[in-house]
Chains A and B, each alone.
Chain A
Amino acid sequence: MSDKKQTTKKGVSRRNVIKGVAAGAAIVATGPALFNIAKADGHAIKIGMPVPLTGPYGKESQEQARCAQIAVDQFNAAGGMGGRMAELLPRDTKLKAGEAATRTLELIEKDGADFICGSLSASVQLAINAVTKERKKIFMSISQSDGINEAKHFSRYTFHEAMNPHMTAGAVGRYVFPRNKKRVAFLIADYAYGHEMARGFKRAGEAAGIEVVAEVKHPLATKDFSTFLPQIQAARPDVLCLCNFGYDQLNSLKQSSNFGMKEQMLMVAPALLYSQRLSGGADPYEGVIGGTNYHWTLENSIASSKAFNDAYRKSNNGMPPSDYGGYGFSGVASLLKAVKAAGSTDTDAVITALEGLKYDNYKGGQRYRGCDHQSVQDVHIIASKSKKDMANDYDLFDILHTDSANEGVLRTCDELSKLT
């Protein structure tokens, strides 16, 4: 302890101690004022929205936040809940589960959020869900996941507005396989989402009597698929199911076109994303079949779609909203409808209201199933149009078929309750 030997006689003077304490007290007194200037009116209904505003899914989640804001604006324009206005608080999760958990804590502790709605990617959803259920806050999840329905993660505070991989892949499989597509190959991104999608397909395939001729797994964010594709080609499948997402999907599609595989087999991508197709261009996607929750052309037959599209177009230079934007809008709109019905923001009252809610926010009738709070909704089977068939820049998909809202496409409550 060399330090101690050198101790000077005087040490700290009393004056310095007093000064230090005074300075400390001043910091303590002004601190909260410095940082909390933006603290909003305590009476507003606050909806926290942790979404990955930056990073690879930035585009989708900024769209989700934009659409959620429309739902809030409409609620406020209609007078709120007896004059109580709603407020949306978007926060960046950076697509990381830990960051998302911190942001959710911030929203609950600092901002006093009444509800949480948001996230993209399964792991982030589960992290937010863990935080909200421990603190008894309602979490409205707006991204695909099977795990969140299962008893291990589900709680009465958890609601899932998005579709799940089981119902999406199932609907696409039920459409494709019976049309003489029995020899099936899978290209699977090696993580939870990819496996959930593949599982959904296989379940649907059992009934149709498919034969799995190839099952190839690739790591996330693969750039070069040339080592994976020949295995699939050699198996001579009728249909190839691409159980991947984002750039993986785009790259694998582009490269399989180069291999001439599109002529040999049907390409199926369970979650065929609007924004991905928009940025990827018509050619790589031409003829690809997939599933979606929403395509804006539904406005031709559904009034609520028309209303949602028009509201969006007004603030976005005539551009129509995307599929994931629809989730953002509908998740928040449902919460606010339930708040209005319950007449309060009390968690238990709003849960009861949500459970009893029959709603048509943007795509026809929906409701939350009792046992897992999964939104029962239409699943649309779509095919990507070729460039010459597109009526305008945003006319991307043909709707081939609609699996109308019914519980039959979901896993049974009994099955989910056993997954602990």
Chain B
Amino acid sequence: MRLLFSALTIACLTFGAQAQDKIITIASTTSTQDSGLFNHLLPAFKAKTGIDVKVIAQGTGQALDTARRGDADVVFVHAKSAEEKFLAEGFGVKRFDVMYNDFVLIGAAADPAGLKGSKDIVASLKTIQAKAAPFVSRGDKSGTHAAELALWKDAGLDPAAAKADWYKEIGQGMGAALNTSKAMGAYVLSDRGTWISFKGKDGLIIAVEGDTKLFNQYGVMLVNPAKHPHVKADLGQAFVDYVLSAEGQKVIADYKIEGQQLFFPNAGK
């Protein structure tokens, strides 16, 4: 029992100490976390401002809901229409463009629909449907999921509603979706950042890239203190200001894996 009590004491001391610090909570997406951007950006932010950041990495839809409940100070996500809805509901103060990257259509090396090298995502989706080639959808209301659904709409198709058996909604994060598509030999839409940093690329290829429809914009918003008075508005605003500043933008541009830049800053453009 004594051991348990000392463990409890240690626990209280540890947690108590951390509650005192300058610290904010950011609800963000699995893509910014899984790609390693935050591990690169947050130490630079902390060095500049002394503010610690806790990142909750969820799909964009879930991240916005976390902020709606008042459980985050800042949101940093990538689904513009969902973000604008969030703003219109009064939960955000103002939305700013931060950076972009692009989506790529990943497929098994065997490329069952013969898409490799295509730059036309809409035609490629039509081919996938025509050949009933397996396709993995995030199915989790994330930014990538929203982008994927918009592309199917552009193609005039709706495999989710049709419950097509080649279309699998897995309800998981980007990395898990890549793992699944690899195991199933399926196509999957991924943001390029997660793809570049993904460690299990063997057996997967980029099937389609370079279409302007695959553009992926990230935005940042301070959660509205008028809705949730406990929001740390000053510290949260400091983060927003930092990622939009010339310095923060450069830190984002400098983040590379194997020589490839993952995110392209475009604040104020």
On whether the two chains bind one another, the answer is no
- B-contacting residues of A (Cβ < 8 Å)? none
- A-contacting residues of B (Cβ < 8 Å)? none
